Amino acid sequence: MAKTANINVRIEPEVKQRAENLFNSFGISVTDAINIFLHTSIMEGGFPFIIKQPRYNTETESAMQEVRDIISGNIKTKTYHSTKELFEELDMEA
What's the pLDDT score for residue 54?
82
pTM score, whole prediction: 0.55
pLDDT confidence of residue 24 = 96
pLDDT recorded at residue 2 = 64
End-to-end Cα separation, the chain, in angstroms: 75
pLDDT score at 21: 96
**What percent of the chain clears pLDDT 70, i.e. is strictly above it?**
98
Looking at residue 41, what is its pLDDT? 97
Query: pLDDT tens digits, residue range 33-59?
Result: 999 999 999 999 999 999 988 888 999
